[in-house]
Structure 1
Amino acid sequence: MTLPPLQHQLAEKLLTEFCARRSPPELRDKIRVEFAIKGNRVTITENRPYFLDPHQWTTTKVAVLDYDAKAATWELFCFDRNERRMPYHDTGPTADLAALISEVDADPTAIFWG
């Protein structure tokens, strides 16, 4: 299932702004925060040069936002140290995508950015 067009546009807008804030131009050769939309899922990643070969980049999953079309809500997921996806318990399903992105940005539990 794919995101409804309005949700896709909203996700693109909010996450493009979020990633630009988290990846200032002067640091993009050292760190990039990016997102990908696939189906009804948005994955946020942190990318850094591999220390043994700076021409290669490593990718770490930061968060996943899943959209439930029937309920018209988003749900936030985080990852453990083995990159296993798990529900983020400090928020529940919500129609407010911006609030979930703000939660990832603020990271009050240090699960997203450490």
Structure 2
Amino acid sequence: MASLPEMDVVRVQRWCRARVSERVRDQVRVEVDVAPRHLTIVECRPPWRADFGPEWTRHPIARFRYTRATEQWSLYWRDRNLRFHEYDLVQPTERLEDLLTEVDLDPTAIFWG
């Protein structure tokens, strides 16, 4: 996590918590996975059958990649094969908030469906 701007990581963590009301967090959560060069937004759901075990399913929604040389974030979307592709409707930016807004609005229904 040392290579990502700490304030941006905190910003995404707060954004994730705000996506789901406290009263339904036993049914769905939005979390962020932190890696050295990117952040991945993940939707989490509880097991729907007891024989599948106690683990929640984790479904990647979007990825924010950080380029240290330019200090910019880029937005990526996930396909059905769990591969990420650059989202070309917004340009890389220093303002991660702009990319969070794009995921929130989801004008193409590519993130949340």
Distance 2:107 2:56 in 1: 27
Distance 1:62 1:10 in 2: 18
Structure 1: gaps (5+ residues): none
- CA RMSD in angstroms comes to 1.7
Structure holding more strand per residue? 1
Equivalent residue, structure 2, for 1:97: 96
Cα contact 1:2–1:38 (8 A) shared by 2:
no
Equivalent residue, structure 2, for 1:59: 58
May I ask how many residue pairs the two structures share in their alignment? 111
Distance 1:106 1:57 in 2: 26
2:21 to 19, 24, 30: 24
Q: CA deviation at 1:107?
A: 0.8
Matching residue's letter, 1:8: E
Q: CA deviation at 1:9?
A: 2.0
Equivalent residue, structure 1, for 2:75: 76
Determine whether 1:11 maps to 2:20. no
Structure 2: gaps (5+ residues): none
Distance 1:41 1:2 in 2: 11
Distance 1:61 1:52 in 2: 21
Q: Helix, strand or coil: the match of 1:21?
A: helix
TM-score, length-scaled by structure 1: 0.88
Q: CA deviation at 1:20?
A: 1.6
